[in-house]
Amino acid sequence: MSKSKTTSKDKRIVISENGPYLVYGGVPLRIQEIVANREGMSWDWKAGKTFETKSDYALCRCGESKNMPFCDSSHSKNGFDGEETASRIPYSQEAEKIDGPTLVLSDQENLCAFARFCDPGGKIWGLIDETDNPEARALVIREADHCPAGRLVVHDKKTHKEIEEPLEPAIGLVEDPAIGCSGPLWIQGGITIESADGTRYEKRNRVTLCRCGASDNKPFCNGSHASMKFNDGLL
């Protein structure tokens, strides 16, 4: 993960009604592969192929395009229901707060994209109670920061400042070889996401958008790709 070098100004994603994600502003598009450690648990990210795109392009949202990751109009033939059901309430108001000795963990469970970075070295919900230990504190920060969905965010308890690495604007096509499936779109760097009704979702450093078509928290990923073994054929 790298610090932001460019602005997300004019970069936006528009959710078309029962159709694709319309991407504007030359947003870089690349594969982001979850790399497992020796125990088979999610540990790091590996950047893969970068796709050549025009300034504006359309990404599949129904999960059935034959030209992945791009839309091929399959949604118009398969009766895709892309109704947006996600809450518009800001993350800070919906997330559960869990106090630790030196950190506060915010957790909005319905945003979980099943990337599983919250597990290695000890589950983050248990480790938060041990953050007076520098090693446990560092691991909690690492686990939260690797969460692509922004489900997990940590704040310093004294300063109340969010501890998060700012990302450069980009879209990552998540691939998860450990469980043999493809994951969501990882939207990085505060790119504007605009609903089909014209309103905008809260701008955040990292969120994940469903691209298997099965989430019940659209447009956001809820981990459904894992249970259905969604495969985009890109790896």
Q: Does 3 fall in a domain?
A: no
How far apart, in whole angstroms, are the C-alpha atoms of residue 13 and residue 167? 17
Q: Does 123 fall in a domain?
A: yes
pLDDT digits (tens, 9 = 90+) for 13-55: 999 999 999 999 999 999 999 999 999 999 999 999 999 999 9
Does the pLDDT of residue 191 top 80, yes or no?
yes
Helix (H) or strand (E) holding 143: helix 134-146
pLDDT digits (tens, 9 = 90+) for 85-129: 999 999 999 999 999 999 999 999 999 999 999 999 899 999 999
The share of the chain scoring above pLDDT 70, in percent, equals 96
Give the number of domains in the chain.
1
Could you tell me the pTM of the whole model?
Answer: 0.94
Whether the link from the prior residue into 184 is cis, omega within 30° of 0, is no
pLDDT digits (tens, 9 = 90+) for 121-154: 899 999 999 999 999 999 999 999 999 999 999 9
Does the pLDDT of residue 6 top 50, yes or no?
no
Tokens of residue 58, six digits:
């359309």
Q: Which candidate, 215, 210, 234, places its Cα nearest to that of 61?
A: 210
Q: Does 78 fall in a domain?
A: yes
How far apart, in whole angstroms, are the C-alpha atoms of residue 6 and residue 35? 26
Q: Does 102 fall in a domain?
A: yes
pLDDT at 3: 39
Does the pLDDT of residue 163 top 80, yes or no?
yes
Q: Does 163 fall in a domain?
A: yes
Q: Is 142 exposed, middle or buried (0-12, 13-18, 19+ CB in 10 A)?
A: middle
What range defines the domain where residue 216 resides?
8-235
Q: Does 26 fall in a domain?
A: yes
How far apart, in whole angstroms, are the C-alpha atoms of residue 95 and residue 138? 22
Q: Does 223 fall in a domain?
A: yes
How far apart, in whole angstroms, are the C-alpha atoms of residue 224 and residue 217? 10
Q: Does 1 fall in a domain?
A: no
